[in-house]
A and B are shown apart, each in its own frame.
Chain A
Amino acid sequence: MEKNQNKAWLYLLPAILFLGVFMVYPLIDVFIYSFEEGYNSASQTYFGVGGYNYSYVLHDPYFLQAIKNTLILVLITVPVSTLLALFISVGLSSIKALRNLFQTVYFLPYVTNTLAVGMVFMILFKKTPYSDGLANLLLGLFGAGPIDFIDGPYWAKMLVLCIYTVWVVMPFKILVLTGALASVNEEYYSAARIDGTSRARIFRKITLPMISPMLFYLVITGFIGAFKAYSDAVAIFGTNLNAAEMNTIVGYIYDMLYGEGGGYPSYAAAAAIILFVIVLTITCINLLIRRKHVYHG
């Protein structure tokens, strides 16, 4: 037994080392920086220790804007993308003809580069002196005036960002959910049919509980992913996100480190810790709900 345990630790060692060096140590380091005022990574110096960094970040209008943007993004895209993915997966599972074709089509965004998808969205939504973009062309058919989705009003830009995010995250969810649906034993459906169960009830009472672990996995990772959103906003609005009012928390952290007004690792560290606390809290709440409502096989 003792010998076996030593062996187990030996096998775990590489992973522990890597995680320690690249995850745990930096995390602790960031935590320390966040309390060191005016930390300079080049000279390794700082003025003093205290909560000033947090106070600065929490009073920075750019950071508050980033939090607002991120929260809107999370609250809209996670439920919308999960529900849409569930809807599409159920559809995919119940058709036979063309199923492979549609599966491929729905999976395409997953294998397409974020920036390339951003380009496509520019063509769809960007208003230039020469063209109003495809979206405005469609709106025009209904008599609605051209809207500048990229440089225009806040809600229009947020709408584009949400559509973009939903579009990018959905393929993975569809993949997971079609897998989950396929793994539900056909016999449960046969048994339910023989007992005269309506389709809606079969879905609610059998399908949903059976795939609930996967659904919950998607919600949790969806929350975490949306909180960490950054590249999506860059792909559409460029790198000066503060000017576009479209910055996210991660974008703010990046700007504080390397952006034009950058060079403030202490502020970046404080913002990162705030993000960490938010994500941790949301995930804990999710797990608590999961314990109550999800069936474990």
Chain B
Amino acid sequence: MKVVLQNLTKTFPARGKKGETVTAVNDFTFEIPDGELIGLLGPSGCGKSTTLNLICGLQKPTGGKIFFGEDDVTDLPPEHRGVGLVFQNYALYPHLTVLQNILFPLENLKGKNKLSKDEMKRRAHEAAALVQIEGLMERRPSELSGGQQQRVAIARALVKMPRVLLLDEPLSNLDARLRLQTREEIRRIQKETGITTVFVTHDQEEAMSISDRIVVMKDGVIQQIDKPQTVYDDPTNLFVAKFLGTPPISVFSGEVRGGMLYIGENPVLPVGGVSDRPVTVGIRPEGFVPDEKGKLICDLKAVEVMGRDISIVSTHAAAQVPVIRSIVSADHRINTASPTVAFSLKPHKVFLFDRESEGRIPFTTV
């Protein structure tokens, strides 16, 4: 089932005397192809959870339309939309057993959709098998670990065979190891069921690792929609560039003069097709190449060895970030006694942005 959002807008009325109306979701238009897993990514307060609530119907949009396939569901109440939602805190009914929790949505079915007791049991066990919790059916949620509760919540959302599966920060309550494991699990379940899935996260690594496509949001406005790798390699603006990637991108004040990019007083990279102007320069950590003849000279602070790679921590007067982190292969030998380190740059890991609009300025490498 493809999901289409058309000019979707949600504003919240002002609170108190001096309050201003808040636009949580601003003129969203995008289409989620059938069977894809979409990650809604953004800092907290950017409207991603609101978007999810609009899709599932818990909140009504102020403007715009939502389609599931060809059906306009904008005015449908949540129970008629056929969505499954996994809450951040799972919202498992604590007084019911795992089996009763999974059966709950099925027991609501009425009229011609009503299922026999045996059929319900069969479907519940099928859903439980999918998330591998068959052994826990008689337990109560309080007797389960966080990861197990998460699985039960997914089983409960899947058991009624929803048209769309929505996950709200599904991994944020799990510890680091379980998070890795569970995100692969979510990916596997999504692939197996083929259900169009939207999941919300503020963790860019999480979004990048399992999404077919990610939607980067800021202040209720879509910044970029694309495949994770494309968003990383080709960010549309400074915000997207900064939001994606660990360690984060290093940002400098720079200037283009006569087809040459200057950071500080040094020409660091020839850039074609850009008129002379001040720019903001973003360089990915892997874009730095230690090179004695390199033109970008930074003050060396520390070298962290991570086995396969080494991380060079340095500072630069023109940098807009407190420290510059670059990741280089461990084959490079860095003279830790030297006060400075010189880098040459990989052109495709360097992005130029407008100082004012922070939009991307394309350039050609010579």
Contact = CB atoms under 8 A, between A and B. Distances in A.
A200 to B, nearest CB: 11
Interface residues of A, number: 19
B56 interface: yes
Contacts of B308: none
A187 interface: yes
A201 B91 contact: no
B87 A187 contact: yes
A295 B95 contact: yes
B95 A194 contact: no
B151 interface: no
Interface residues of B, number: 22
Interface stretch (B77-85, B196-204, B267-275, B330-338): B77-85
B109 A196 contact: yes
Nearest to A296: B95
Contact of A195 (B57, B94, B95, B160): B160
A198 interface: yes
Contacts of A195: 79, 104-105, 108, 156, 160
Nearest to B162: A194
Contacts of A198: 108
A190 B79 contact: no
B150 to A, nearest CB: 14
B321 interface: no
Residue picked from A191, A194, A196, A205, most chain B C-beta under 10 Å: A194
A210 B95 contact: yes
B91 A188 contact: yes
Contact of A196 (B56, B58, B80, B85): B80
B89 A196 contact: no
Contact of A194 (B83, B94, B109): B83
Interface in B223-244: none
Nearest to B105: A195
Contacts of A263: none
B67 interface: no
A185 B93 CA distance: 10
Contacts of B77: 193
A190 B91 CA distance: 9
Contacts of A197: 79, 104, 108
Interface string B141-155: 000000000000000
A297 interface: yes
A271 B330 CA distance: 91
Contacts of A23: none
B85 A194 contact: yes
A209 interface: yes
A187 B104 contact: no
Contacts of A108: none
A206 interface: yes
Interface of A: 185, 187-188, 190-198, 201, 205-206, 209-210, 295, 297
Enumerate the 8 nearest inter-chain pairs by beta-carbon distance, A residue then B residue, closest first: A196-B79, A295-B95, A195-B105, A187-B91, A191-B91, A209-B95, A196-B108, A194-B78
